[in-house]
């Protein structure tokens, strides 16, 4: 695991919806090393509080430009501070951290919801244009601005919404069993709310399709030193920051 600390320059920010932003930063070393599934720990330099760094999954890289992107929801003090930074401001970033996704799938199906769709975007980029399919779920059509990013990157985009305002009405589980039964996919990659990941992992187990999950836990150090992210795996304790955040579904005992 690389522990590079890079002083990154903010290239710019983009508003994705009322509570979500995309930030692009210039940090050539991390942009060059990061693989899909890894995360970085970010601290805004011009502000000393909050003291702890915050982890964000990498949402995409542009190695030629030396930049990478993060997507985040503005929900606490740290992300409010981050939302205020402008082009040219500096961030102290540790990374890339953690273990990335297995990239050996021939036909990958990505399944995500909420901010889980950010690391999956980097995964779709890693597989290459037209290689993966994506199934995304949200409460309503307004949450699925993600389609703008996935269309043209993934081959097929399947949508579900709780209220039926876009795609199939229901959760991703309204569509997933049929996709698994098609026999098209040799691996499913899921990232999103815990009930979604659990349901997807169980459906994959039943259908005998490999499944990787990207877990989200509170992380204080992000380096395997503090145990704040520890949870029960099958037969052993696992640290999400160091042993993951990506795991094979059968490795996870506690979600
Ligand atoms: Fe400290 Fe994982 S965040 S051990």
CA atoms within 13 A on the CB side of 192: 25
- 216 in the same domain as 185: yes
User: What is the atom index within ligand 1 of the atom nearest the CA of 239?
Assistant: 2
Question: pLDDT class for 228, splitting at 50, 70, 90?
Answer: confident
Has residue 216 got a pLDDT over 90? no
Interval between CA 144 and ligand 1 midpoint (Å): 31
- 188 in the same domain as 135: yes
Q: What is the SS3 assignment for 14?
A: strand
- 242 in the same domain as 184: yes
With a pLDDT cut of 90, the percent of the chain lying above it is 76
**DSSP characters over 93-156:** EEEEESB------SSEEEEEEGGGHHHHHHHHHHH-TTT-EEEEEESSGGG-TTHHHHBTTBS-
Question: pLDDT class for 3, splitting at 50, 70, 90?
Answer: low
**Residue 196: inside a domain, yes or no?**
yes
Domain count, the chain: 2
- 35 in the same domain as 11: yes
Q: Is 97 in the pocket of ligand 1 (CB under 6 A)?
A: no
- 200 in the same domain as 131: yes
- 84 in the same domain as 34: yes
User: What is the atom index within ligand 1 of the atom nearest the CA of 242?
Assistant: 2
Interval between CA 99 and ligand 1 midpoint (Å): 13
**DSSP characters over 168-194:** EES-GGGTHHHHHHTT--SEEEEES-H
129 prior amide bond cis, ω within 30: no
Alpha-carbon torsion 199, 37, 70, 89, what sign?
A: positive
Q: Residue 81 CB: number of other CB atoms within 10 A?
A: 17
**Residue 102: inside a domain, yes or no?**
no
User: What is the atom index within ligand 1 of the atom nearest the CA of 241?
Assistant: 2
pLDDT tens digits along 136-171: 999 999 889 999 999 999 999 999 999 999 999 999
Q: Is the pTM of this model over 0.75?
A: yes
Q: Is 196 in the pocket of ligand 1 (CB under 6 A)?
A: no
**Domain extent for 63:** 4-96
- 128 in the same domain as 78: no
Residue (of 145, 156, 160, 76) closest to 115 by Cα position: 145
């Amino acid at each position: 695991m690389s522990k590079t600390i890079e002083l990154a320059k903010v290239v710019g920010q983009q508003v994705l919806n009322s509570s979500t932003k995309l930030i692009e930063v210039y940090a050539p070393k991390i942009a060059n090393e990061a693989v899909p599934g890894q995360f970085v720990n970010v601290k805004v330099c011009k502000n000393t509080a909050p003291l702890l760094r915050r982890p964000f999954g990498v949402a995409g890289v542009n190695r030629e430009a030396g930049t990478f992107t993060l997507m985040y929801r503005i929900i606490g003090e740290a992300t409010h501070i981050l939302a205020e930074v402008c082009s040219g401001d500096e961030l102290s970033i540790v990374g890339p951290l953690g273990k990335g996704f297995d990239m050996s799938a021939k036909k990958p199906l990505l399944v995500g919801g909420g901010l889980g769709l950010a690391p999956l975007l980097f995964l779709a980029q890693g597989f290459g244009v037209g290689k993966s399919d994506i199934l995304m779920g949200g409460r309503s059509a307004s949450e699925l601005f993600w389609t703008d990013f996935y269309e043209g990157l993934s081959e097929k985009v399947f949508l579900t919404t709780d209220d039926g305002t876009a795609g199939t009405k229901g959760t991703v589980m309204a569509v997933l069993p049929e996709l698994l039964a098609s026999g098209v996919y040799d691996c499913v990659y899921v990232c999103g709310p815990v009930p979604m990941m659990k349901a997807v992992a169980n459906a994959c187990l039943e259908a005998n399709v490999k499944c990787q999950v990207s877990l989200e836990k509170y992380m204080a150090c992000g380096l395997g030193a503090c145990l704040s992210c520890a949870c029960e795996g099958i037969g052993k304790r696992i640290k999400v920051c160091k042993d993951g955040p990506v795991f094979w579904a059968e490795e996870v005992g506690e979600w």
